[in-house]
Amino acid sequence: MTEIFSLDTVFLKRLYVLLYMELESRRVIWFVVTDKPDSTWVTQQARNLAWELAEHRVKAKFLIHDHDAKFGGSDLVFQVEGVTVIKDSNRGAPRLMPTWSGKSAPLGESAWIGF
């Protein structure tokens, strides 16, 4: 799984973290930080990760990420390596789930459902 998220520093600067995580163990296998993420930077990080995985003889099967345009070039890098890229259809909108009373409540309010 891969994700980009932002962090604000105490000096009021926004940094962006690109994170690759193995879902089975929930172990972070690669992360990098920048103040200006773009598709070129994300693609280079994908190359770096692919080289690192090849060096350690680790074979990835799937990569999951959202529909962010920044991932476009990295998809090609992973597809060349034989990795199936899956784009998550959840765009961050809150989902509703029925509660025991039959009314809908925001996901997580009455029960937590994992990935």
Q: How far apart are the first and last CA of the chain?
A: 11
Q: How far is CA 66 from CA 42, 78, 92, in A?
A: 13, 15, 9
Span 8-44, pLDDT tens digits: 999 999 999 999 988 888 889 889 999 999 999 999 9
pLDDT score at 90 = 60
Of the ranges 65-69, 99-103, 111-115, which one carries the lowest mean pLDDT score? 111-115
Q: Which domains does the chain have, with CATH numbers?
A: 2-106 (3.30.420)
Structure tokens at 39: 């598709």
pLDDT score at 56 = 86
